[in-house]
Amino acid sequence: MRRNSILNALILIGFFHISSVGASEKVAMDLINYVNQGLHNIAAIEKESLEQYAAVIGENYTTDERVYKILKEEVLPLYNRFYVLLKEIEPKTIEVRELHQIYVKAAGNIYEGFRIKKLGLEVKDDSVIVRGNRKIEKGRVGVDKWKEQLIELCNENGVTQKK
């Protein structure tokens, strides 16, 4: 269920356009560029890393060794690439920059959680694994907050997703 929350945020990453005339054009255009050119270009990397992770946890869990291997070889390299590219996005307006920082912080927590969990699996320490899981969960909550605020900011500025 948790992995679905993270993956659901990716569904938002579609093509956006301005739907009303009374919106703040500067913020609206920044939002459109943020989603269509910034996030859209890197969403597939995040999605792939989260799908790789989801394939070895929860009902898909088989062994700690498998989780460790996927974290080390697939999830961490992909998520690191996504995180680096995410941090390079530079929105122009303060509203979108503040929104973006929520995502950057959340993604940082997820990435750090993956690293901590991998370490816990490596040294076979359940308390470290739990700490990693908590950090991943903290990141997921942050992504949910970002998603809610993205929708709110889009609505306030007349930006809607194309069907």
pLDDT in tens, 33-66: 999 999 999 999 999 999 999 999 999 999 999 9
Return mean pLDDT, the chain.
89
For residue 101, is pLDDT > 90? yes
For residue 29, is pLDDT > 70? yes
- List the end-to-end C-alpha distance of the chain, in Å, as a whole number: 26
> What residues make up the domain containing 25?
2-161
Contact, 142 vs 5, CB < 8 A? no
59 vs 160: which has the higher pLDDT: 59
Give the residue-averaged pLDDT of 100-129.
98
Which CATH number do you get for residue 139?
A: 1.20.120
- H helix or E strand, kind and range, residue 120: helix 94-123
Cα 95 to Cα 29, 37, 114, 150: the distances in Å are: 12, 17, 29, 10
Domain count for the chain:
1
- pLDDT of amino acid 24: 79
The reported pTM is 0.87
- pLDDT of amino acid 13: 45
